[in-house]
Structure formats: structure tokens, C-alpha cells
Amino acid sequence: MANASAQLYERAGKVVPAGVNSNTRARSPHPFYFQTADGPWLRDADGRQWLDMVMGNGAVMLGHNHPQVQDAVRQAIDRGMTTGVESALSVEVAELFLDQVPTLDMVRFTNTGTEAVQHALQLARHATGRRRIAKVEGAYHGWSDELFVSVWADVTRAGTVNNITPLAGTTGLRDDVVDDVLVVPFNDLERTEQRIEQAADEIACLLLEPVMIDIGVIEPMPDYLAGLRQLCDRHGIVLLFDELLTGFNVAPGGAQARYGVTPDLATYGKALANGYPLAALAGREDLMRMTEPGKGPAFVGTFNGHAISMAACQATLRVLQDGSVQKTVADRAATLAGQFDGWAKSAGIDAVMTACGSHVHWFFADRSPTDYRSAASVDRAAYAAFNTALEQAGVVTLPNPLSHHAVSLAHDVAALDRLAEAMEAGFAAIAEARANAGA
Ligand SMILES: Cc1ncc(COP(=O)(O)O)c(C=O)c1O
């Protein structure tokens, strides 16, 4: 059988490290190389059709090749604008953005989430005159030095939950930057208060995903976010919600609308432009105005407000504006989660699917995790067996058990039927692996 992906990998491996442009795409025995995408489907270099459950790491909420978004992009290309200047369109997009996020006053666009979060940290430092940031254990917010602290951390080296040791999530980080980050557990208001109160006058900013989606869709406990809001208010700390995955997705106004807690600053990306490269920093007017020239930290970027991304964003936000897409997609994700639980029970396997907005994830554990440590302790062998079976059935998933998957507006009955079949095969594969191991 032809295997163009294997052949491309052989070529790519000579010119591109690991043959991929983002390490999360590395696969054994080789990554996939795709040619086209439409709706929930990808077609690989051999012409084989795959069901996409990664959907641009949660960015492509309307499905690939969405007609309104693609038309808007084509029109933008025809207008001849690219980047490096402002456009009338970028003003319209900012207005449309803030109409849907009425809790925040001003917005600025960047290209990637990493940049947006990095801008927010500089702004928080400038506004408070403090140096350190506090972040949640295990949370991913991008790849820069501070952000990669305690990401996918080895909990056996990370101290106790009362006093989490900050760990570099990758080599190459500056030790002093790593040591400076205060790491707190998700969903644990009491411990977070204790830790922050010990160092409050050094902390510029508390950074978290309001729903911890990046390690597998973990919702906040009641009152947790409101408690963090009060904690930050008591100590003059900037509360920064990373809404890269929740923004425009779990509700038009994002997680802050869903849970009724307004941060000082928030970062966006992903669903914002249905897969075109765009991110944003938004927030309170007094803070955001500090990024104006000469007032505070620099805010610059050649591709900021790029004409193509702005066009994609305008079309996407118009589709998402009335909240009906979010409802359709969330209902679909919730139905899938219910079915998954049924399949798990019939197979006699401890497994749960968590869902929020378009995001879903499957954990092989007897209950839904509530924080990084409980997510990190799931049965990884079961996850690997399940995902291998999915892949054999033509479903694209992520090999890391601490990741997330998504349905989209384009995941119709045919796509979900194909997924159901693959997932049932996945449970059978786990049962078989356990039987072979004599478990
Ligand atoms: C919650 C969250 N924050 C930030 C980022 C970083 O965004 P980007 O990959 O656009 O730099 C990601 C990316 O996966 C993310 O999921």
C-alpha cells in the first residue's frame, strides 16, 4: 500500500527537525501529512480521508473550509492589503469583538496566543510595579520562558500541593525566571489564597485558563473563579484569564460570561478566526491604554491586525454572534460525552469524557479530574491503546493524554457515526490489551 506520509516523513526528516513544525504533531512511526481539508474531514497525501478530532488544536470551531470565512479571506486577498498599516476593517473587527465581550473595554490584536499572553504579563508588571507572576500547575499558555513553567510537569519532582515547586517544562529556560514563578493548584481556592498571601506584594498577575481545557477540559468548581477575583482585588493583583480556548467558544462572551467573573485582562485566539492566525489581548480601559505609545510597555508587531486574519475574524465573529453555533456545538459535545460514558460502562472500563463548548477529552479514570495532578494520574496505557484504535479507524487525535479534542459545527451525523464506531473499537482494544496482559 502506498504510504505517502511515510515517504514525506523521510524527506522532511532531512530538512525539518522531527519532520514537523510543531512538536505536538510528531507521531510514531511518522507524522501525517495532509493535502486538503473540508468540514470535519482531512485528506492525506495518499488521498485517504480522516476524521479530524483535533480541529486546529481547538481553533477551527466552524469546520475546515467554512464558506463565509473562506469568501471573506478571498475578498481580502483581492483588495491587495497585507500588513504593516491599519485598516478600516481592523476597526470594525475590534467593535464586533467588544460587542460580544461586553465585560471588557478595549482590544488589540496579535498573531499568536503566546504573544498575547506575553504582552499581558508585561502590562501587569508595568501596572503594578511588581515582578512575579502566579500561574496554575500544568497549565499551558504558550512557549515563552515564564509560560513554560510547570507545563506537563513531573509531579514526583514538583513538591506537595501545598508548596508546588516551579519546574521548567522544557530545557533552555532561564533558571531565575523559572524560580520566580509562583505555581498554584487549579480549583483549590484555599491553597491558592495561602500561597499568594505569602508573596502578594511581589505578584503582578495571576494567570489561568478559567476552564482548564489545554490538559483535558476541567471546569472550575463553583465559587473558585469568584474567589480568585476577590483575592486579586484584595492584593491589587491583575487577574488574567487565558481565554484562547474558551473565548467565543463556550459562550459568545467566553468563560467570563459563562461563569460571571470578569478578569482585568484576557487573551484570545483560536475560535476568533476559525484557524487563521490571530490572537488578541483585551481588558479594562485604564490598563489597555497603558500600551499606548510612551505610556507603558511596547505593543508592536509586523503582522498585528493582518488583513487576511482580520477578514477571517470578521466573518467568524458574525457567524458566532448570536450564540446559536456555540449552543449547537456544545450540545453535540455533551451528547458525545454521554454516549462515551455508556460505551465505557458496557465495556467495564473506567473512563469519562469531559466537555465544555466545542472541546472534549477522554480520561481513563473513574472520575473527572479536577486539577493537573488528578489529570496526570490517569491510565496512560489505556489512552494509548484507545487512540491507536481510533487512528487505525481513520480518526486524527493527539497522542498526549494531557491534551484536548474538539467537535465542530461541521461534525455532522456521518462524522459522529464514524467516531462512534471508532470509539467502540477503542474500548475493545483496551479490553483486549488488558486481557493479553492478564489484568
Ligand atoms: C490556553 C492556551 N493559551 C495559549 C496558547 C498559545 O497559543 P499559540 O499557540 O497561538 O501561541 C495555547 C495554544 O495551544 C492555549 O491552548
**Neighbour-count burial for 285-308, b at 16+ CB within 10 Å, e otherwise:** eebbebbeeeebbebebebbbbbb
Using the mean position of ligand 1's atoms as its centre, give its distance from the Cα of residue 417 in Å.
30
DSSP SS3 for 172: coil
Looking at residue 437, what is its pLDDT? 87
DSSP SS3 for 239: strand
- Cβ neighbors of 419 (< 8 A, separation 6 or more) are 51, 53, 336, 395, 411
Question: Is the CB of 238 within 6 Å of ligand 1?
Answer: no
Give the number of the atom of ligand 1 that is nearest the alpha carbon of residue 142.
6
Alpha carbon 108 to its chain centroid, in Å, reads 19
Over residues 333-375, the pLDDT tens digits come to: 999 999 999 999 999 999 999 999 999 999 999 999 999 999 9
Looking at residue 78, what is its pLDDT? 96
Question: Is the CB of 97 within 6 Å of ligand 1?
Answer: no
Question: Is the CB of 188 within 6 Å of ligand 1?
Answer: no
- Is there a contact between 66 and 57 (Cβ–Cβ < 8 Å)? no
H helix runs in 87-162, sequence order:
88-100, 113-128
Q: Which amino acid is at 381?
A: A
Question: Is the CB of 244 within 6 Å of ligand 1?
Answer: yes
Question: Is the CB of 141 within 6 Å of ligand 1?
Answer: yes
pLDDT at 262 over 90: yes
58 CB-contact burial (10 Å; exposed 0-12 / middle 13-18 / buried 19+)? buried
Using the mean position of ligand 1's atoms as its centre, give its distance from the Cα of residue 246 in Å.
11
Using the mean position of ligand 1's atoms as its centre, give its distance from the Cα of residue 343 in Å.
32
Closest by CA to 137, choosing from 192, 204, 202, 203, is 192
**What is the pTM for the complete model shown?**
0.97
Over residues 264-294, the pLDDT tens digits come to: 999 999 999 999 999 999 999 999 999 999 9
Over residues 235-257, the pLDDT tens digits come to: 999 999 999 999 999 999 999 99
If one residue of 119, 141, 405 were mutated to test the ligand 1 pocket, choosing by the most ligand atoms within 8 A of its CB, it would be 141
Using the mean position of ligand 1's atoms as its centre, give its distance from the Cα of residue 349 in Å.
32
DSSP SS3 for 293: coil
Give the DSSP H or E segment for 69: helix 67-79
Using the mean position of ligand 1's atoms as its centre, give its distance from the Cα of residue 435 in Å.
39
Q: What is the mean pLDDT of the chain?
A: 96
> What structural domains does the chain harbor?
32-65+323-436 (3.90.1150.10), 67-320 (3.40.640.10)
- Is there a contact between 56 and 270 (Cβ–Cβ < 8 Å)? yes
Alpha carbon 103 to its chain centroid, in Å, reads 21
Question: Is the CB of 144 within 6 Å of ligand 1?
Answer: no
For residues 36 and 52, give the distance between their C-alpha atoms in angstroms, rounded to a whole number. Answer: 12
Over residues 201-222, the pLDDT tens digits come to: 999 999 999 999 999 999 999 9
